[in-house]
Amino acid sequence: MKKKSPWKIVAGLLVIGVLVLLMLAAWIAFRAFSAVSEARIQWEQAEKELLTKGETLSVEDFVPPPIPDEQNFFADPLWEDLSDRVEAEKKGGHFMKARLPLEKRQTYDLNRPLSEDERLKLEKDFPEFAPLDVSKDAVHVARELWKQGEDAGSESKRRAAEFILAASSMVEPILSRIERLADRSEARFPIHYEDGIYMGLEHVAPLLGAAQWLQLRGLVAIEQRQPYKAAADVFLILRLATVFRNEPVLLSQMVRASMDSLAVEVINQGIREHTWTGSNLRNFESALAEIDLIPALALALRFERASFNISIDSLLRSGNNEVFNESFGSGKASSPATRYPFYWFWVYRQFVFPDDKAYYNQAIQTWVEALDQASQVGVSSRQLPKFSAAAKASVFENKKRLFSALIFPGLESGIVRVALIQNQIVLTRIACALELYRLEEGDYPESLDALAPRYFDTLPADLTTLQAPRYRKRDEGDFELWSLGWNGSDEGGRSDKNRKKADWVWGG
């Protein structure tokens, strides 16, 4: 038998190896094609289902219509610095940003630290508060001192009130200007919705700062037994909160809710200290009855979904890990996504993102449908499934749904916070009626049944159960008022920092 040449044996093995590699490559290509096709089919099905339900996935459809300048709160030179944008560059692409830095904008006083001269003067006049923290915004320093004064006793509280009046002189001119603009009936800030995470929301922080100063001023007026001055600040805060009413952006609606909460805290403080007149209380209840944060929250979630679809796709196309880390606070220097962003983003976009996008869009739909039915079924953990845990599990187990896992926890927390504030508004409406009853009868009623139909056609229901809140008159001459909270369990009026596990208590 003729012996085979070693070279022929090697050549044969090479041919076999090449064939095996070709077969393996063909199998990988088939699997990749199948994965891409499956993910895209999932997204196409999800998109079709949403469109069939009448949902819109286009950002342009959420842009509110323009209004005449004479009706527009933002049609004033005060806000021009915030909407004046220029193109800037960040590694991986271009984006738009405000032309002027924070410290050069007209609204800077609302959110700035104390200047050196201001610090020295205030420390001289109020040595007990020295040294003042100049690393924080002045309004936050004032809020901390007010809290310390409340905890320390009447004299400390009086001095904290005097400090706030002295410190707030720096913002009085701009607050007066904002108060004049608040007479205008509408508000449209020129947001560039199509720019996604760079749409420009520079007006949010100044307005929140203005509301925080107004809240402090209102609390001081209560301390000084000036109810009508305090009430004026309450109504101005509530008016400023409405400028976000037509902005379909989750951040805007979160800030709107926070501003309403600031006003509610002033009202509640006045009720505790028996400051308000009957007229004040009736006007508060009437104003709070007009506030419903839930429909705007549902609209904002729909907009966030549409914005997500274009923003994340654009991000993945760019391969810009710097923008990714800035947007989501994620990514380690040693991760493949950070070292090789273009390839990682390309792979994720082709093989995984359509499934992630389908999951995200459908989950948002479940939430908004629950919020749309809030007036019939309430808003609580029973109505809103917890998607963030499932999305996180998917990331760790299947390396899928990365963006859903990153985004859902913040969205869920936002929903819970807005629901909590809306419920506080309901409880404060009832507290206004309880205080009015006390003014008229000399004491609080034994049960909430005494309030309707005397002050309400029907008693306002709490948001989570759509039932009457829990109420207890105390021997100390005050009362306790609470709803069952996010978990739907009655904890007997126990509050907790974890808003998902405890009762939602009036004034808590």
- pLDDT band for position 337 (cuts 50, 70, 90): very low
Pairing, β 479-483 against β 470-473:
antiparallel
pLDDT at position 139:
94
Which one, of 325, 327, 81, lies nearest residue 197 by Cα?
Answer: 327
pLDDT surpassing 70 at residue 418: yes
Q: Is residue 339 part of a domain?
A: no
- Residues 352-411: pLDDT tens digits? 677 788 888 988 998 899 899 988 888 887 777 666 555 555 555 555 677 787 888 888
Q: Is the pLDDT of residue 343 over 70?
A: no
User: Mean pLDDT, the chain, as a whole number?
Assistant: 84
- DSSP SS3 for 23: helix
pTM score of the predicted model: 0.87
- Cα(287)–Cα(47) distance, integer angstroms: 40
DSSP lists the bridge partners of residue 473 as 479
Average pLDDT over residues 118-142: 92
Cα–Cα distances (Å) from 354 to 32, 45, 194, 313, in that order, read 14, 11, 21, 10
Return the closest-CA partner of residue 409 out of 386, 379, 382: 386
The alpha carbons of the chain give a radius of gyration, in whole angstroms, of 29
The residue written with tokens 């909160």 in the block is 241
Residue 329's CB is within 10 A of a number of other CB atoms, namely 8
Closest among 240, 250, 236, 237 to 201, alpha carbons compared? 250
Share of the chain above pLDDT 70, in %: 80
Higher pLDDT, residue 259 or 192: 259
Confidence of residue 38 (pLDDT cuts 50, 70, 90): low
Q: Which domain holds residue 125?
A: 69-276
| Cβ neighbours around 417 below 10 Å, total | 15
At residue 319, the pLDDT reads: 52
For helices 6-52 and 353-372, the axis angle rounded to 10 degrees is 20
| Confidence (pLDDT) at 403 | 78
User: 430: pLDDT confidence band, cut at 50, 70 and 90?
Assistant: very high
Q: Is 85 helix (H, G, I), strand (E, B) or coil?
A: strand
Report, as an integer, the average pLDDT of 27-35: 54
Does any domain span residue 138? yes
Residue with tokens 């951040």: 251
Tell me whether residue 16 is in a domain: no
In a domain, 333, yes or no: no
Assign 332 a pLDDT band (cuts: 50, 70, 90): very low
Look at residue 96 and tell me if it is in a domain: yes
What is the 3-class SS of 145-183, one letter each residue? HHHHHHHHCHHHHHHHHHHHHHHHHHCHHHHHHHHHHCC
- The mean per-residue pLDDT over the stretch 28-41 comes to 58
Domain count of the fold of the chain: 1
Short-list 338, 293, 291, CA closest to 319: 338
For residue 131, say if its preceding peptide bond is cis, omega within 30 degrees of 0. Answer: yes
Q: pLDDT of 155-196, one tens digit each?
A: 888 999 999 999 999 999 999 999 999 999 999 999 988 888
- Express each pLDDT in 467-484 by its tens digit: 999 999 998 889 999 998
- Tokens, residue 248: 């379909």
User: Is there a cis peptide before residue 65, judged by omega within 30 degrees of 0?
Assistant: no
- Tell me how far apart the alpha carbons of residues 366 and 357 are, in angstroms, rounded to a whole number: 14
Within 8 A by CB and 6+ apart from 303, the residues are 59, 62, 193, 248, 249, 250
Q: In this structure, which amino acid lies at residue 341?
A: P
Return the residue matching tokens 């200007």: 177
The pLDDT, as a whole number, for residue 358 is 87
Between 23 and 355, the more confident residue is 355
pLDDT confidence of residue 477: 86
Given a contact cutoff of 8 angstroms between Cβ atoms, the answer to whether 267 and 280 are in contact is: no
In-domain check, residue 444: no
CB contact at 8 A, 308 and 316? no
The gap from C-alpha 458 to its chain's centroid, in whole angstroms, comes to 31
CA proximity to 159, closest of 133, 129, 132, 130: 129
pLDDT of residue 333: 45
The pair of structure tokens assigned to 382 is: 């029973």
Q: Is residue 486 a part of any domain in this protein?
A: no
Would you say 352 and 436 are in contact if contact means Cβ atoms under 8 Å apart? no
pLDDT for position 490: 78
Residue 387 within a domain = no
Crossing angle of the two packed helices 204-223 and 138-152, in degrees rounded to 10? 30
Yes or no: say if 189 and 74 are a contact pair by the CB < 8 Å rule. yes
pLDDT digits (tens, 9 = 90+) for 443-453: 999 999 999 99
What residues form DSSP beta bridges with 482?
Answer: 470, 505
Q: CA–CA separation, 455 vs 432, rounded Å?
A: 10
